[in-house]
Structure 1
Amino acid sequence: MSGLRPAVMGAVLVALYTLMISAADGITKHISGSFAAPQLFCLSAGIVLALAYGVSRTPFGLPGGADGVTGAGRLTTRCPRAMAVRSLLTVLACVGFFQAFRLLPFADVFLFIGLMPVIAALLSGPVLDEPIRPQAWAALGLGTLGVICLMPGGLSGLQPGHFWALLAALTGTGSMVASRYIGRVETNALAQVFYPNLAILVVMGVALPFVWQPMALADLGWIAAYATFLFFARWVVVVALRLLPAYVATPLMNLQFVWMVAIGFVAFGEVPGSGTMIGVALVIASGLWLIADELVPRRRESLAV
């Protein structure tokens, strides 16, 4: 039964990731109305880099860290080209999501996020040589239907924000697929947090002098909170993507919808409609179906040993 543990642990980590990234997205929505993307991402990337470097200097073992690697060695990589591709895609995804959250309602942006499992499935075959089983395609279809139910109004007409959201979905999924590719070669999760944020700092730092605006202490606090959520979310998802195929992990990330519904009900007394409840149920069922489909071959392998 030990062969089942990676898939279960991966699912738990993805669920934790969705909670932290939802909090970060909420802060992005709040900040994007007052400051330009380079200001948010340059400052937050600097904080994430400081956290990553600080953790790399700790003497104790790290979850998802490289076996037997300590100190600055935790920031090395054996896949420099793949890491460069992941870093570039991460930069593009950050810009895309920032512009999308600035120009569109949450609902429209998350509709594109809901397409990421399908994109991951299409990329997993040629890039990772991970064939998608028929049951997985059926589960992906169920999850997509759930996303549509969650957004009964649909898109209100194409706007520039929708193209930014599509760019973000494509590059964000590509970054996750690259992360799983790197995870096959090395178990150093911290490096996959460090280098993409280094790329963000460099790229955004070039534009920062042209868009800088004075910030209040409260705004700096929001950015610090955003960076903290982002650091741990990206660390956790790197480990999860080493344990789960990208096309399984990305549908589970649709749990962000569930967090939104739960927060709206508990904090604001918003009673979800029947379409929303059906959509949430379908999203959850899709994720459980994919996990079950992933466990079946593992269970057979463990029984055959």
Structure 2
Amino acid sequence: MQTSERTGLLYAICGFTFLSIGDAVIKTMAGDWPVTAVAALRFTIGAIGLSAILLFKEGPRAFVPAHPLVQLGRGLCLTLASLCFFSAIYIMPLAETMAITFVSPVLTALLSGPLLGEKVRPAVWIASVAALTGVVIILRPNLLELGWPAVLPLISALFFSLMIILNRASAGTGSSLSMQVFVAGVAAPILIVVAFGADASGIEGLTFGWPSWDVIARCAFVAVTASTAHWLAYIGTTKAGAAQVAPASYVQMLVATALGWWFFGDVPDALTVLGATIIIGAGLFLWRDGMRIGVRKTG
């Protein structure tokens, strides 16, 4: 492996590690502040910080999107994906939540057919069946214990996949920084409305007052680490290529498992390990098939 590829892979691994660390910090706020308020504050801080950087680097013109409806769709998908994912982290072990969301690459490949007009390869169908089998294996005990809220990670993965598809539709219409600003800038106000609407409902667990300083600090930490993680993954991709970096995302599973075990006492059982192995295997199979087709086209 060339030096640039090794460096790129290291950047990507660091980025994905930061994402899992942020997820663990989100989980520490369960019981301290409602998930709706946490999501709203985290994305508001992120949107303000990223907007300030974009204004400094690219000027006011960078805030005008080429395709406003696409950016609105990206932000809405991120809103729903984040709400479901944060809610899942609150109630489920970190490793199990992360394992289920790893079905996202398979869903993206599957949905690219009807939504983008791409041909769905046989490998995609094989990977989809395998990944969903892994999801069922992980969900089964959680459904018995938690009921339908246990499917929140799967819903999160679905909306994240839709956001990735919309990312493809908006490719080349702005810098990577402006793309982050647009998606956070849409998600933040929606989440603020959701948070105050949930508070007004009076539903137990969704009402909130002014947060303590440590909640604000943790939300700010997650906003910074998430933005840093995306930047590191982007740098890694530019140095090593998307195909080489893609499998590195599975380091999130290892980090999430270690953090869940160490800080929350969530020891993954045999079913979780089996299901996660099947899901990750399906993702790697799909990646390998895509690499093979890419080599064939360029050969």
TM-score of the superposed pair, with normalisation by structure 2:
0.73
Q: Identify which range, 190-199 or 149-158, moves more after superposition.
A: 149-158
Q: 2 CA distance for matches of 1:252 and 1:44?
A: 25
> Which residue number in structure 1 is paired with residue 203 of structure 2?
none
Is this contact kept in 2: 1:143–1:283, CA < 8 A?
yes
Change (3 A) 1:239 1:88: farther
Is this contact kept in 1: 2:47–2:181, CA < 8 A?
yes
Q: 2 CA distance for matches of 1:112 and 1:263?
A: 17
> Which residue number in structure 2 is paired with residue 20 of structure 1?
18
- How many Å apart are 1:284 and its aligned residue? 5.1
Q: Which runs of 5+ in 1 are unaligned?
A: 60-69
> Which residue number in structure 1 is paired with residue 80 of structure 2?
92
Question: Among 29, 45, 48, which residue is 1:47 paired with?
Answer: 45
> Which residue number in structure 2 is paired with residue 67 of structure 1?
none
> Which residue number in structure 2 is paired with residue 188 of structure 1?
175
Is this contact kept in 2: 1:78–1:186, CA < 8 A?
yes
SS at match of 1:156: helix
- Corresponding position: 1:290 with 2:278: no
Q: Tell me the matched-pair count.
A: 285
> Which residue number in structure 1 is paired with residue 69 of structure 2?
81
Change (3 A) 1:271 1:28: closer
Output the amino acid matched with 1:135. A
Output the amino acid matched with 2:215. D
Is this contact kept in 1: 2:35–2:86, CA < 8 A?
yes
Is this contact kept in 1: 2:96–2:272, CA < 8 A?
no
Structure number having the greater helix percentage: 2
- How many Å apart are 1:124 and its aligned residue? 0.9
Q: 2 CA distance for matches of 1:196 and 1:101?
A: 22
Is this contact kept in 2: 1:136–1:290, CA < 8 A?
yes
> Which residue number in structure 1 is paired with residue 109 of structure 2?
121
TM-score of the superposed pair, with normalisation by structure 1:
0.72
Counterparts of 1:1-305 in structure 2, within 5 Å, are 15-59=13-57, 70-106=58-94, 109-110=97-98, 112-144=100-132, 153=141, 155-157=143-145, 159-183=147-171, 185-206=172-193, 207-208=195-196, 210=200, 211-234=207-230, 253-263=249-259, 282=278, 285-303=281-299
Q: 2 CA distance for matches of 1:126 and 1:147?
A: 23
Q: Identify which range, 34-43 or 230-239, moves more after superposition.
A: 230-239
Q: 1 CA distance for matches of 2:17 and 2:98?
A: 14
Residue identity (%)? 23
Q: 2 CA distance for matches of 1:271 and 1:158?
A: 18
Is this contact kept in 2: 1:32–1:98, CA < 8 A?
no
1:232-253 per-residue CA deviation (whole Å, 9 max, x = no partner) reads: 34556678999769xx96x875
Change (3 A) 1:180 1:287: same
Is this contact kept in 1: 2:130–2:279, CA < 8 A?
yes
Change (3 A) 1:240 1:96: farther
Q: Identify which range, 34-43 or 156-165, moves more after superposition.
A: 156-165
Q: 1 CA distance for matches of 2:242 and 2:153?
A: 25
Is this contact kept in 2: 1:179–1:241, CA < 8 A?
no
